[in-house]
Amino acid sequence: MIKSYIEIIKDSPLFYGIKKEELFYLLQCLTPKIHSFSKNECIVNSGESVDRFGIVLEGEAIILKENSEGNRVIISVVKKGDLFGEMLVFSSRKIWPATVRVQNTCKVLFLTNSDLIARCGKMCPWHTAMLQNFMNVISDKALLLNKKVEYLSIKSIRGKICSYLLEQYQNAKNNTIILPLKRNELADFLNVSRPSMSREMCRMRDEGIIDFHLSTFKIKDIQALQSFCEY
């Protein structure tokens, strides 16, 4: 089964710069396991003790925090090729702080923490390259979490929306963008109520700043969007 997903695995940031034929040898040093999950199934629950991390091969999942009242905040969305759980590999704490829930049917490649950390008995250079890539992944994830904190620190709903849309615009390098989150998920991600967020989006549309249909947004006034990000 690994062979059928080798292209996806190769394109994961964990294996950047490692050739396909080298990747087959590297995987022999590890103990990869592929698991399938159904829609809305939890891959990992908050509070579980897990000694592995995952790479999404098919579908997507959301990483979220939920309180006792059922309110949730979406931390991130992981899609094909993305990693999750990697922040715990070198941590002294092995308890997952968040829940990973499947959006639709999902396949995940799991690698154990010990296989990643342990020195390869064959002393293959690809293992060293993988470790270097892993440190890059952790650094990038830390920057993303910092961005999440920025969203939470913005007081106005419009400021949150504008900051998020501006980031998506910068990533896509296009005035027309497709948001990776559904409307209710975006509200959870920005930590605002969906009705309030929808009303603010409609006001921005009426003011000629943006236009949208479902998850497709068109930025019509980039300067206005940038100005509201300052508040």
pLDDT in tens, 154-202: 889 999 999 999 989 998 889 999 998 888 889 988 889 999 999 999 9
- Residues 69-78 pLDDT 10s: 777 888 888 9
Mean residue pLDDT of the chain comes to 88
Q: Where do you find CATH 2.60.120.10 in the chain?
A: 2-150
Is the whole-model pTM more than 0.85?
no
Residue with the two structure tokens 């943006």: 210
Please give the CATH number for the structural domain made up of 154-228: 1.10.10.10
Residue 40 has pLDDT above 80, yes or no: yes
Residue 127 has pLDDT above 70, yes or no: yes
Q: Which of 33-42, 117-126, 151-160, 185-194 has the highest mean pLDDT?
A: 33-42
For 198-225, what is the mean pLDDT?
A: 94
Lowest mean pLDDT among 20-34, 41-55, 192-206: 20-34
Q: What is the pLDDT of residue 77?
A: 87
Residue 34 has pLDDT above 70, yes or no: yes
For 25-53, what is the mean pLDDT?
A: 90
Residue 208 has pLDDT above 90, yes or no: yes
Q: What is the pLDDT of residue 87?
A: 84
Quote the crossing angle between the two packed helices 125-153 and 20-29, to the nearest 10°: 90
Q: Where do you find CATH 1.10.10.10 in the chain?
A: 154-228
Q: What is the pLDDT of residue 56?
A: 95
| DSSP bridge pairs for 52 | 112
pLDDT band (50, 70, 90) for residue 89: confident
Tell me how far apart the terminal alpha carbons of the chain are, to the nearest angstrom.
50
pLDDT band (50, 70, 90) for residue 122: low
Residue 230 has pLDDT above 60, yes or no: no
- Report whether 29 contacts 62 (CB < 8 A): no
Q: What is the pLDDT of residue 231?
A: 47
Q: How far is CA 33 from each of CA 27, 75, 154, 210, rounded to the nearest angstrom?
A: 10, 25, 41, 44
Long-range contacts: 138-141, Cβ < 8 Å, 24+? 138/86, 138/87, 138/90, 140/13, 141/86, 141/87
Who wins on pLDDT, 117 or 223? 223
Please give the CATH number for the structural domain made up of 2-150: 2.60.120.10
- Report whether 53 contacts 78 (CB < 8 A): no
Strand order across the 83-84 sheet: 33-37, 106-112, 52-58, 83-84
Who wins on pLDDT, 209 or 20? 209
For 191-214, what is the mean pLDDT?
A: 94
